[in-house]
Structure 1
Amino acid sequence: MKSQKQHIELPKDVFTSLRELLEMERFAQIMSLLANKQKVKSILGGKHSSKLRGRGLDFEEVRNYVMGDDIRNIDWKVTARTKVTHTRVFSEEKEKPALIVVDQSKSMFFGSQKRTKSVVAAELAAVAAFRILKQGDRVGGVVIGDDGVDIIQPKRDRRNILRFLDKIVEKNHELKNHTEGTLDDSLRDTMHKVRNIVTHDFLVVIISDFKKYSPEVTRFISQIAQHNDVILAKVMDPMERDIPHIKFVAGNRDTQVTVDGKHKALNQHFVTGFDEDYQSFQTQMKKHHVPVFTINTVDSLDEQLKDVFAGRKK
């Protein structure tokens, strides 16, 4: 009863709840994380940076060639032996296991207008999990907090998703405590646990603001991308790029500073700094064929996902 009361008292859009994450299932059809389902202009398809391999193929049988069959699948040995053209038939593998890594650390507990980054990240993780399950694949998750990491092993089971969402809500609600974080330790723990789960031909979706990720983590992403499909979703708040054109006080428990948002040079400094950092990160990931897209805390998640997967978002 105490836990239920606590959930009710937490403000919507600042914190999330299991009920709200379950409602994200209605947006699952917007996403497609299979290579053969991508539109040409999608961030995950066509000439863009993704190397999504899609599902693999299992050999089924050899049969007589039928007009329209792919000539690349002709079995020349059987054809030569029988004097009749034969082709090899393949079936699509039944699953592509997936792991969703979602950041619920202190840097995600920020939102200037509508929702916090932590809430948006939780919602996106829920949409991705439901979509992957609908594709018939095993799905699990890793939830990063400042004081530890929770892990849900991939399974093809709706109850497994509920456990994953429960862990997200738990870490999300811990953000209200304002404890000193140990993010570096959490990241090292995350990398260790992901390496133990992800072998090859996994789909790994990482959702974070990528503000505190060290070169060590960047190398880790590039390493798992060698044998797996990796997609990065950067959650950002507009104020991280465009500060208000007013004078305001910003700070934390220890320090406060006065920021003059009317100063054009300062505004431009924020814009340039954000854009250069993001472009540098994209460039690094592009070298490893890892696509990156942004989701903001202001616009509706479903409309943003439609833009990303339809190729309308830069």
Structure 2
Amino acid sequence: MLPSTIIKKIRRIQIHTTRIVDELLAGQWDSAFRGSGIEFEEVRPYQFGDDVRAIDWNVTARTGRPFIKLFKEEREMSVMLLVDQSASQGMGSHWQTKREQVTELSATLAFSAIKGNDRVGLTLFTDGIEKFVPPRKGTRHVLRLIRELLYCDPMGHGTSLTKVLDHLNRTMARRTVVFLISDFQDTGYEKSLKVARRKHDIIPVVVADQREMKMPNVGLVRLRDAETGQMITFDTFSRANRRAYEEHAKRRMEQRDTLFRKLNLDPIHLYTGEDFVEPLQRFFHRRENHR
């Protein structure tokens, strides 16, 4: 049986995120995503004016006449939430940590999906796969996902985007809408992201804390890397040190965003202590206008 504290948290998140979906995101999910999934239906002979990119070359070679593939929109989609549970998610210089914001965001996306009659699943990851819940429908299923997010006691501390993307490609055979929710404090995942991008609709959600971008002048401080445990003493009195810290953070951000542009991905950027609804609405509007 769940502790009363967890039950209360689940109930609070359900009430809060359901209100967001009903009052602030009403209709935007369908406008942004409906019809984005397609599946093969049949082939027919090529007709003048048809898109040559739709030609089925295997059937064409076999029959000696050009045929094209016909597709139909899927009536429902599968949505996967890939949620970072690494130690750096405990960072939060405001009233909430990255993990707390990610939990509420994930719940909002999950309730949006089932309101649109879509299936939603969850993969929790660190430097390994912590939990995999296949996509299903229904409010009870979403409440289970929230429980998994709140209850997760990860074995790993680091972040491996490569492992979670490879796991996605192994477990999800059909095209899936994927929200990759992380602070992206990792390297070497470009190849896996490229492969996943060809097969699935990948939406990066970058969750950060302003303190990761800018260091205040507070004297000598001891800093610990949450994922590696490494400790250093940092002199924030030094303007050169603060500038080096900020330039390093800026380079890492630029490299990440350059990769997203290269793969034609449209990320959502969130910061702890700030409302995530407005960035989500802007993303839905961009998505709808693009379609």
Contact 1:99 1:142 survives alignment (8 Å): yes
Q: 1:20 to 1:72 in 2, by over 3 A?
A: farther
Residue equivalent to 2:168: 194
Q: What are the ranges of 5 or more consecutive residues in structure 2 without an aligned counterpart?
A: 42-48, 52-70, 287-291
Q: Residues of 2 paired with 1:183 and 1:274: CA distance?
A: 18
TM-score (structure 1 length as normaliser):
0.69
Residue equivalent to 2:62: none
Q: Residues of 2 paired with 1:126 and 1:248: CA distance?
A: 39
Q: What are the ranges of 5 or more consecutive residues in structure 1 without an aligned counterpart?
A: 9-15, 39-43, 45-51, 60-70, 74-89
**What does 1:1-314 correspond to in 2, within 5 Å?**
3-4=3-4, 7=6, 17-22=9-14, 23-28=16-21, 29-30=24-25, 32=28, 37-38=31-32, 54-56=36-38, 92-145=73-126, 148-171=129-152, 174=153, 181=156, 183=158, 190-211=164-185, 213-215=186-188, 217-252=189-224, 255-260=231-236, 262-310=237-285
**Displacement, 1:248?**
4.6
Q: Residues of 1 paired with 2:197 and 2:25: CA distance?
A: 24
TM-score (structure 2 length as normaliser):
0.74
Contact 1:152 1:160 survives alignment (8 Å): no
Q: Residues of 1 paired with 2:25 and 2:2: CA distance?
A: 36
Q: Which amino acid aligns with 1:235?
A: V
Q: Which amino acid aligns with 2:38?
A: G
RMSD: 3.4
Q: Residues of 2 paired with 1:194 and 1:168: CA distance?
A: 18
Contact 1:233 1:293 survives alignment (8 Å): yes
**Displacement, 1:234?**
0.6
**Displacement, 1:100?**
0.7
Aligned-pair identity in percent equals: 21
Contact 1:209 1:235 survives alignment (8 Å): yes
Q: Residues of 1 paired with 2:10 and 2:191: CA distance?
A: 33
Q: Residues of 2 paired with 1:166 and 1:284: CA distance?
A: 33
Q: Which amino acid aligns with 1:149?
A: E
**Displacement, 1:274?**
1.9
